[in-house]
Structure 1
């Protein structure tokens, strides 16, 4: 990705209701060329998607429901995208006085609960490859906990000063979108990626924690969280040595 994109006009689309902002943008890219950076906001999502086919639920006007799309101009591996997006979201929150943590690969945590989830996808079109970064972030209310969820949902309002209004979805999006773009742009160079890894490490909720890796309810690995690998995968120190966990349908959970 070129730094020029971070300075380009961001093309905003605001939808009253949609099944999923990621799905909407995927379909839009498949139908026509879209210029520059696309930012799609929705007031209501009826079928929001999370990683591994999970749903993202939110009451109307209670969450930032955003998808950000842009062309790929780099050979970065897919594990880079959610790391960059997570760091960007955390930095945007820090700019309004909120300290968040990151749970690899795609969650933003606040006060020990899940504030936001990220879903990164790519779509190949006749105009080239596009990356779509989807974000669902609880603003004023947190949805009910999902069965088997390891992290209780939490809303930004929980950590917001009581005498101030919580930012609107558009207000927060105008901070989040440039921050994500800047993080992705920085990671396009080796030195920049090293900086992004260091920023992730400062916020890594799993670092040094006893963890287990599950897939379909089966435990595949246990060990201590050791942070990000060079390629964006997550490292575990196991009885069999250092193991790398890649993005997929795997889940990292705190060991009981």
Structure 2
């Protein structure tokens, strides 16, 4: 049988006609270009399998909760406990049964592009609640209690009330059965989804704050106490979005 040209094989690779299932036909072809195609396809397919395995593992906490009779399981996470400006934001997410989003992970491990993509997919297909506690509330209640308040608000803003919560290293003050996990955003798909929602929502909020108060570079630092941010406070003073209890006395 006449061998296909390398250009033809590249076209089949690009259109998805070449997969692991029919790759065996090319293993004996010693042409360098063909072996490069084989290597690319194998690498791509192996990456897909790893992502699928990780997705299946991260579904374990949800599956375990459902095996114990819980029908509506939501993951909870927060973003923004450390900055000196801006709210602490929380997300609550219940993913539908058919939901698959390979590559979803703790938001801190994702690129900006991936976070935005995952955010859009989650918002379009899942039951999502978002809650926040303002800088003023953080100053009044302290960051720990304010974070709990933001998480409570996120749960209350969901379309349906969950019957079980999976929470990233916190306890939510709601009368719902819940479990707390250290590094839960690395162990649970719904907590990871909640971390993406909280992070992207907060980053977009700080983008709007940056427009209201230029000069602090909130767009880049997201409210964290960078050297540039501290210098801006010395020069311009604090804004209504700054956490007074977080800004050092020698700065404000």
Q: Which has more radius of gyration?
A: 2
| TM-score using structure 1 length | 0.25
More strand by share: 1
Relative contact order, CA 8 A, sep 6+: which one is greater? 2
Which one has a larger percent helix, Structure 1 or Structure 2?
Answer: 2
Give TM-score scaled by structure 2 length: 0.25
